[in-house]
Structure 1
């Protein structure tokens, strides 16, 4: 396993396992159990995923010491006030059945970000959270949060894939000593990413699949990756990316695949914000 040193002194695995879109308790529990068996120790969940309890149960029953795991969860928008964020943190800990979380993120950059962030800062000081960070924040939003608070985010989890490489945002975060973590590294299979000829030709040189090439490309950009699957064979494939290294030519070839647009939605688009998150924000009024 490769690790990254976070700006608060904590160490985080570079490859983990995500459970987005696995709300069924039994399926999520089995997926995490299988992932633990494969060797994963970083697990990424969220209040909005509705599977924190399943993740916690699998880890707690694994027979492996809690200190061996790096557990991430996220606060949803309907808890973005100081008081509700404190309650949200306790709720995540209760569902996970854990004394602390290794990393806790503000899931989106909307609502009372600063009130919620203050609750995260206090939880970090009390030992309930080891590292705090954000998700889906643009550079200006990160910088504003830095200027408004005493603790810099340790991580920003954002969309990064060959189709949406976010070079400027990644470079900004890394220069700020904020680790970048990629969600949807495979763009959920969009544009035939698993059969793309360019990626396949690179993979042939190393005896690797398109997915493995993508994960290696991200790791070599010093980006944390959390691929999701419920199939154990794919978990094993995704985990088998530490025995090869892409050449500089390979990296440059992949850089040319950038479509320069989100494969999901624009976090700057007011219409998208209202349609996706409006109900959560209105619930706080």
Structure 2
């Protein structure tokens, strides 16, 4: 009897914990999904007449908004610029940060702390403050060096994605013994470029994919910098489109968020595939 009582109390406590967890999880999901559900209902229900319609979604998937009296060319233009910016920003971020982080990780752990402080600094600076500093630089670049093409926003976006990319790459570097791998490869006669490409990078694929996908998600959702600098991207196009047809703009916003969720799921899938491949080897 003295043994059974603690077992029953433990079982009762576990049941209470499960109930509390279920309630908290349900409330959290409701808090997160209620706005998304409201957005979805707004795209299929006419605000004035209350009539249900899929015209907004049809306009997006057919690429023709004439039936709703809306020109979707600005949407496709903004989407094209954002996709190009995502690719260029991810590549530029990796070319800038990955070699620097590997070298610092191998040579000086003290310098790595300073690099972490610099990389995470954009998190503490509001985007509008960054624009105030970047505005004169972009005016000079647009007038004297480059052009007003939105693709040059990649320089500003590399700064914005640095904190997220740094954390993803740092986790990957800390999960392997970079120093031992590089010293072993060097002792076998490999040059530093070969060590970097043939030894270190294959062990960091998961971190590289994570940093790239997070960077893409950040670029696709960025509005402040592009808007204040007078450049076109997806979010600026959605804002301008919302002035003429808010239902199409809201539907496209939902698709952009769904794409971001798919990127995060892709990170998990790639991480699982990489882990299985390592276990097989």
TM-score normalised to the size of structure 1? 0.21
| Structure with a larger share of its residues in strand | 1
Larger radius of gyration: 2
TM-score normalised to the size of structure 2? 0.21
Q: Which has the higher contact order (CA 8 A, sep 6+)?
A: 2
